[in-house]
Amino acid sequence: MPSAVEQLAANLDLSTLGKAKELRQRILFTLGALIVYRFGTFVPVPGINPGALADLFAQNSQGIVGMFDMFSGGAIGRMAIFALNIIPYISASIIVQLLTSSVPHLEALKKEGESGRRKINQYTRYLTVFLALFQSFGIAVGLESSTGVVANPGLLFQISTVVSLTGGTIFLMWLGEQITARGVGNGISLIIYAGIVAELPTALISTLELGRQGALAPGVIVTLLVMVAVVIYVIVLFERAQRRLLVQYPKRQQGNKMFQGDTSHLPLKVNTAGVIPAIFASSLLLLPLTFANFTGGDSGGVINTVTAILGHGQPLYMVAYASLIAFFCFFYTAVVSNPEDMADNLKRQGGFIPGIRPGPMTANHIDFVLTRITVVGAIYLVVICLIPEFLIAFYPVPFYFGGTSLLIVVSVTMDTVSQIQGHMFAHQYEGLIKKSKLRGGKK
């Protein structure tokens, strides 16, 4: 007779979605929240001249500003209240996670469990507000330094811009947490995902229009489409890749029964960090531009020079981008995967890796394997993010076809589908348990 789990795996299909009321509510809530986010990307900051802003953005659309306009779903190009998106929150998360490893107070909070995580999240929110205030003021000063973009420059415009952009970031931070808690999860990632996907049709149409006008050769367009298909295939392949460590459990006796030893696997993902390194690296590359705007373009030429050589497609940009991605691959993997905790859990459950003694030696072995596969994961992320960037740097192709955008879209799609399947699995499993109890009661 098949077990309940086997029956569930055989019967799990989309029809379950129609019966799972809670799952439907979560999906509808997520869609509603993303619609609200999209509306916000069209609400402009007060006092902006749309025509002059469009001209200014057209001059910088192929730089790093264009990349962050992609992350914000076009909000930067429209200078909407969501122009900062959740970049300050991501930057704050990076800083807090770095401090957690070096500040004793934060390190102690991390070990306290759920209550400690709540306090760390609160510190992250406070830092997000500070960074949003700083970046929004830098944007306000930068806009005032551009001729004709601001109708009435002055203190009132600066205050209104800071309040609008900071308020937009705080609202998106709250909205992302609500999607995570009441929706299908991955709230912050889904907000970035929604911004990229919403602009994909426009990017595709503009690319085809460039081909029609002769600005792009047909061979370049075909090469781009083939590259996109290959990149998506590689992303799916590596995001599902795992290194499975064999774990054995010895024979054990409970009461008068003797249970045979069992074998299992400890799965270690090749890319444990997921899409986080690409997002973290991109957000940090925005800092020189923020400083340049903050100084109004007058900083002795140092910051302006750094901003110029960090432009999209420049050698320093490529090197910095690759280095930051590799660094955050190892850093984030170390944050989310603790070999000592894995070894302790195996020891408590009576499991062991064949040929490795339980305890510290098991932790060292897991750390060794995890480090090696993280090297492969880091190389994969760097290649995926940089190869399309080289093509985009030499041709007027939108950023939406770059490796970073495709990585975010494919990874978030896979994670979201997995979470929805998990809800469907749990719902149908509960139904099977209820049916088995009813049958048992009738007997």
202-237 pLDDT, tens digit each: 777 877 887 888 777 788 788 878 888 888 888 889
**What is the chain's mean pLDDT, rounded?**
79
Which of 316 and 10 is assigned the larger pLDDT?
316
Q: Who's near 310: CB < 8 A, 6+ residues apart?
A: 64, 285, 288, 289, 316, 317, 320
Which sequence spans correspond to the domains of the chain? 4-442
Residue closest to 325 by CA, chosen among 265, 282, 371:
282
**What is the spatial distance between Cα 397 and Cα 66, in angstroms, rounded to a whole number?**
11
Write the pLDDT tens digit of every residue in 248-273. 887 666 666 666 667 888 888 898 88
pLDDT of 65 over the 50 cut? yes
Helix (H) or strand (E) holding 227: helix 218-239
pLDDT of residue 323: 92
Q: What letter does residue 261 receive in the DSSP assignment?
A: P
In this structure, the number of other CB atoms found within 10 A of the CB of residue 351 comes to 19
Write the pLDDT tens digit of every residue in 128-169. 999 999 889 888 888 887 777 888 888 898 999 999 999 999
Write the pLDDT tens digit of every residue in 13-28. 545 555 567 888 888 9
Write the pLDDT tens digit of every residue in 152-211. 888 898 999 999 999 999 999 999 999 988 888 888 888 988 888 887 887 778 778 878
Residue closest to 140 by CA, chosen among 157, 127, 115, 152:
157
Which phi and psi angles does 80 have, rounded to 5°?
Answer: -85, 170
Q: What letter does residue 149 receive in the DSSP assignment?
A: T
Structure tokens at 285: 């590359």
pLDDT of 8 over the 50 cut? no
pTM for the predicted model, two decimal places: 0.77
**What is the spatial distance between Cα 16 and Cα 416, in angstroms, rounded to a whole number?**
17
Torsion of CA 190, 192, 196, 199, to 10 degrees: 100
In this structure, the number of other CB atoms found within 10 A of the CB of residue 122 comes to 10
**In the CATH hierarchy, which fold is given to the domain comprising 4-442?**
Preprotein translocase SecY subunit (1.10.3370)
Structure tokens at 66: 């264009």
In this structure, the number of other CB atoms found within 10 A of the CB of residue 367 comes to 17
In this structure, the number of other CB atoms found within 10 A of the CB of residue 333 comes to 23
Residue closest to 251 by CA, chosen among 346, 355, 350:
350
Write the pLDDT tens digit of every residue in 294-310. 454 444 556 566 666 76
pLDDT of residue 112: 78
**What is the spatial distance between Cα 280 and Cα 420, in angstroms, rounded to a whole number?**
26
Is there a contact between 93 and 177 (Cβ–Cβ < 8 Å)?
A: no
